[in-house]
Chain A
Amino acid sequence: MSTPAGTHEGTARGTARGTVAPAGSAPSRELDVCALRADFPLLGRTEQGRRLTYLDSAASSQRPRQVLDAMRAYEETSYANVHRGVYALAEEATRRFEAARDNVGRFIGAPEPGREVVFTKNATEAINLVAHTWGRANLRAGDTVLLTEMEHHANIVPWQMLAAERDVTIRWVPIDDDGLLVLDDLDRLLEGVKLLGVTCASNVLGTINPVAELAQAAHRVGAVVVADGAQSVPHLPTDVSSLGCDFLAFSAHKMLGPTGIGVLWGRAELLEALPPFLGGGEMILDVSKDGFTPNEVPWRFEAGTPPITEAIGLGAAVDYLRAVGMDAVRRHEVALTAYALDTLQSRFGDAIRIFGPLDATRRGGVVSFVLGDVHPHDISQVLDQYGVCVRAGHHCAKPLMRRLGVTATARASFGLYNDLADVDALADALGEARAFFA
Chain B
Amino acid sequence: MAGLEDLYREIILDHYRSPRNRGELPSPPAYRVEGFNPLCGDEIVVTLDVEDGVLADIKIAGSGCSISQSSASLMSAAVKGKPVAEVRDLIRTFKGMMSIHEASLPHDGHDRADGAASGPVEIVSGEPEPVDVEALGELAALQGVVKFPVRIKCATLSWNTLAQGLDEVGTAS
Binding site for B on A (CB under 8 A): 48, 375-378, 381-382, 385, 392-394, 398, 401, 407-408, 436-437
Contact = CB atoms under 8 A, between A and B. Distances in A.
A394 B4 CA distance: 24
Interface residues of B, number: 21
Interface string B43-83: 10000000000000000000111110100000000000000
A381 B3 CA distance: 10
Given A407-B64, A437-B66, 17 more contacts: A375-B65, A375-B66, A376-B65, A377-B40, A377-B64, A377-B154, A378-B66, A381-B4, A381-B151, A392-B40, A393-B41, A398-B41, A407-B40, A407-B43, A407-B63, A408-B42, A436-B8
Nearest to A401: B41
A329 B13 CA distance: 42
A376 B67 CA distance: 12
Contacts of B151: 377, 381
> What are the 7 tightest A-B residue pairs by CB atom distance, in nearest-first order?
A377-B65, A407-B41, A375-B65, A408-B41, A377-B40, A394-B41, A378-B66
Nearest to A376: B40
B42 A407 contact: yes
Contact of A382 (B4, B42, B67): B4
A393 B66 contact: no
Given A48-B1, A375-B66, A407-B63, A381 B7 contact: yes
Contacts of B4: 381-382, 385, 436
A407 B65 CA distance: 10
B135 interface: no
Contacts of A436: 4, 8
Contacts of A401: 41
B39 interface: yes
Indicate the member of A376, A377, A385, A394 with the most B CB atoms within 10 Å: A377
A381 B148 CA distance: 9
A381 B69 CA distance: 15
Nearest to B17: A437
A385 B1 CA distance: 9
A407 B63 CA distance: 8
A358 B13 CA distance: 33
Contacts of A382: 4
A209 B41 CA distance: 26
13 contacts: A375-B64, A375-B65, A375-B69, A377-B65, A377-B67, A377-B154, A378-B65, A381-B4, A393-B39, A394-B41, A398-B41, A407-B42, A436-B4
A398 B3 CA distance: 32
Interface of B: 1, 3-4, 7-8, 13, 38-43, 63-67, 69, 148, 151, 154
A436 B64 CA distance: 17
Contacts of B63: 407
Nearest to A393: B40
Nearest to B8: A436
Nearest to A408: B41
A394 B8 CA distance: 23
Indicate the member of B7, B41, B42 with the most A CB atoms within 10 Å: B41
Nearest to B63: A407
A48 B66 CA distance: 24
B61 to A, nearest CB: 13
A381 B151 CA distance: 9
B135 to A, nearest CB: 28
B66 to A, nearest CB: 5
A392 B41 CA distance: 9
Contacts of A48: 1
A235 B64 CA distance: 33
Contacts of A378: 65-67
B36 to A, nearest CB: 9
A407 B39 CA distance: 11
A407 B7 CA distance: 22
B43 to A, nearest CB: 6
Contacts of B69: 375
B144 to A, nearest CB: 12
Indicate the member of A48, A376, A394, A407 with the most B CB atoms within 10 Å: A407
Nearest to B62: A407
A385 B147 CA distance: 14
Nearest to B39: A393
Contacts of B41: 393-394, 398, 401, 407-408
A375 B40 contact: yes
A145 B3 CA distance: 49
B40 A385 contact: no
Contacts of B38: 394
Nearest to A409: B41
Nearest to A394: B41
A393 B65 CA distance: 10
Nearest to B2: A385
A365 to B, nearest CB: 23
B142 to A, nearest CB: 15
A48 B8 CA distance: 19
B13 to A, nearest CB: 8
Contacts of A377: 40, 42, 64-65, 67, 151, 154
A388 to B, nearest CB: 13
Contacts of B13: 437
Given A377-B40, A408-B41, A385 B8 contact: no
Contacts of A392: 40
